[in-house]
Amino acid sequence: MATDLASLALTHRSARGANNERLEFLGDAVVGLVVAELLYERFPKLDEGVLTRMRAHLVCERGLAEVARALRLGERLQLGPGELKSGGQRRDSILADALEALAAARYFEAGWDLCRAEVRGWFEPALERLRGDDFGKDAKTRLQEWLQARALGLPRYELVDAVGPEHAREFLVRCHVDAGAQQTEARGHSRKLAEARAAEAMITRLEAGERKQGAA
């Protein structure tokens, strides 16, 4: 049973037969709760808004994928021939889903207490790198300060699209940075919100790239 669940958690839908999508659904909640608990304990003076932003940083697709890479899950994934050929074992979305599915598998295999302890261990290294005061600032300010600290150019925001009626318009914004000629996109019900989300995505990408370079 346990071996079957662990194997299922690492089986992508591109492989034949049963896959990890149902486990991923439950694992999303398991990981979210454990990370929220860690943050609540570690930062007793931070308010709900800052804790929410910190949790989003840790459990976003890229953040989950980083944890999955630290656990070397990519080496254990079961993928279909097409995904194997295209490097699916390195793709953030596939790694993130597998990590959440594995959390659910551990919940069923070992029960809540052991699952909770294991998942906490997965995220504690990433938690050590967090600074609460960074998340008290808005994403655009944090991105600008990150770039300035490294003598890099300022970010640029481009309105790509605005759709929908005036009272329910949705904006698509692209964030550009000169470092590596990178860009991210995000949507929001205001241009300001879309810009903030694009900046948050860019911060996550740049920090991940810097950590990867440091580990090389």
* pLDDT value for 211: 73
Q: Backbone phi, then psi, for 152, in 5-degree steps?
A: -105, 160
Residue 164: which region, alpha, beta or left (left: phi > 0; alpha: psi -120 to 50)? left
Write the CATH number for 200.
3.30.160.20
pLDDT tens, 156-198?
999 999 998 888 899 999 999 987 789 999 999 999 989 999 9
Answer with the one of 131, 161, 180 that is the final residue of a domain.
131
* pLDDT value for 117: 97
* pLDDT value for 216: 52
Domain with 111, as residue range(s), is 2-131
Q: Which residue has 């890229």 as its token pair?
A: 62
* pLDDT value for 215: 55
* pLDDT value for 179: 76
Q: Which of 24, 92, 97, 100 is catalytic?
A: 100
Residues 89 and 187 in one domain: no
Q: Could you give the number of structural domains in the chain?
A: 2
Helices (H), the chain: 2-9, 21-42, 48-59, 61-70, 81-85, 92-110, 112-128, 132-135, 139-149, 191-215
Write the CATH number for 14.
1.10.1520.10
Question: Do the Cβ atoms of 104 and 111 come closer than 8 Å?
Answer: no
* pLDDT value for 1: 36
Residues 18 and 119 in one domain: yes
Q: Which of 28, 66, 83, 97 is catalytic?
A: 28
Q: Which residue has 């990433």 as its token pair?
A: 126
User: 133 catalytic, yes or no?
Assistant: no
* pLDDT value for 143: 92
Answer with the one of 131, 147, 177 that is the final residue of a domain.
131
Residues 147 and 202 in one domain: yes
User: 21 catalytic, yes or no?
Assistant: no
DSSP reduced 3-state for 156:
strand
Residues 8 and 29 in one domain: yes
DSSP reduced 3-state for 190:
coil
Q: Would you write out the chain's pLDDT as a tens digit for each of its 216 residues?
A: 345 899 999 999 999 889 999 999 999 999 999 999 999 999 998 888 888 888 988 998 888 999 999 999 999 999 999 998 899 899 999 999 999 999 999 999 999 999 999 999 999 999 888 877 667 678 898 899 889 999 899 999 999 999 988 888 999 999 999 877 899 999 999 999 899 999 989 988 888 887 776 555
Residues 10 and 98 in one domain: yes
Bridge partner list, 157: 175
Question: Do the Cβ atoms of 95 and 64 come closer than 8 Å?
Answer: yes
DSSP reduced 3-state for 21:
helix
